[in-house]
């Protein structure tokens, strides 16, 4: 596969993608509705070719990363042009943070080559890319997108079913809503809540994810022990969530991270080492 990519949109996200693809040796075309050619020439030392015409910008593309306005009609129009003018093997990814690709791909003959590739801002630093196919997206398209993002240095996460807002933003919104509630009710002030998160959940989740964290919190017996003990008591006190499908959580977590004393010890030591390194770095940069 050749390495020609077109970035649509020269805003913050589009420029971040441009830097990433350039770093990994891709030939980058950048399209924008505004004439920002002089800026692009200076910003990337002539290494990026600017196109005002969308159709012209994608005629040799192997991959397209769309970063246009978050409005469905605009995205649908863009992707129809891609289907008409890009090579038949090209993959079309949208950086959309909320619009599912089945809506973008509606009545589009290239629906099998359309998916979401949603980064987390700042996209040139944060490792996450959410890869969200629509029901018509081919497996080859998904696999190729996952491979490309991995080769760019990202940690792509495959979202197996479409859902509004995808996963990272839904988690963020749910968490922030609880933060807003606690401050609005006078339970804690904003600065102390930030301090609390920075020195607990934020620190923990920078080394392990929620499920691995729960698994380690259960000791050698793992998440099953935690959910049957502390977890069930907290569910009773808070009223939600009610893990009626706890077996699904347990099975998937144990499959991902293993069980047993030695496994728990090894993973706990790694978590603790990473935590200490982060705290050390924070102290150095105060």
CB neighbours of 20 closer than 8 A, spacing ≥ 6?
123, 124, 152, 153, 154
Active-site annotation, residues: 130
Percentage above 70 pLDDT, the chain: 94
pLDDT at site 235? 57
pLDDT at site 247? 81
Q: Which CATH architecture has domain 4-158?
A: 3-Layer(aba) Sandwich (3.40)
Per the structure block, which two tokens stand in for 180? 């807003």
Domain positions in the chain are 4-158, 199-284
Q: Kindly report the backbone phi and psi dihedral angles of residue 94, in degrees, each rounded to the nearest multiple of 5, phi listed first.
A: -105, 140
Q: Provide the CA 215 distance to its chain's centre, in angstroms.
A: 23
- This prediction's pTM: 0.89
Nearest-angstrom CA–CA distance, 192 and 116:
36
DSSP 7: E
pLDDT digits (tens, 9 = 90+) for 236-263: 455 555 556 778 888 999 999 999 999 9
Mean pLDDT of 207-226: 90
């Amino acid at each position: 596969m050749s390495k020609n990519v077109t970035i649509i949109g020269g805003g913050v996200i589009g420029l971040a993608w441009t830097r990433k693809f350039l770093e990994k040796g891709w030939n980058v075309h950048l399209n924008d509705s505004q004439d920002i050619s002089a800026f692009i020439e200076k910003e990337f030392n002539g290494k990026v070719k600017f196109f005002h015409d969308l159709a012209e910008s994608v005629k040799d593309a192997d991959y397209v990363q769309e970063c246009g306005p978050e409005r469905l009609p605009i995205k649908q129009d863009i992707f129809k042009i891609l289907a008409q003018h890009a090579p038949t093997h090209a993959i079309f990814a949208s950086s959309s943070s909320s619009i599912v690709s089945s809506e973008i791909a509606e009545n589009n003959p290239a629906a099998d080559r359309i998916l979401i590739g949603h980064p987390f801002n700042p996209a040139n630093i944060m490792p996450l890319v959410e890869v969200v196919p629509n029901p018509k997206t081919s497996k080859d398209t998904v696999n190729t997108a996952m491979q490309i993002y991995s080769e760019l240095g990202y940690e792509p996460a495959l979202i197996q079913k479409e859902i509004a807002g995808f996963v990272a933003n839904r988690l963020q919104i749910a968490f922030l809503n609880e933060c807003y509630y606690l401050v609005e009710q006078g339970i804690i002030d904003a600065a102390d809540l930030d301090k609390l998160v920075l020195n607990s959940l934020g620190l923990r989740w920078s080394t392990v994810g929620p499920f691995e964290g729960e698994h380690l919190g259960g000791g050698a017996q793992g998440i099953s022990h935690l959910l049957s003990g502390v977890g069930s008591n907290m569910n009773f006190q808070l009223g939600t969530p009610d893990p009626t499908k706890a077996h699904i959580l347990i099975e998937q977590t144990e499959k991902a991270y293993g069980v047993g004393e030695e496994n728990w010890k090894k993973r706990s030591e790694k978590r603790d080492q990473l935590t200490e390194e982060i705290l050390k770095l924070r102290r150095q940069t105060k």
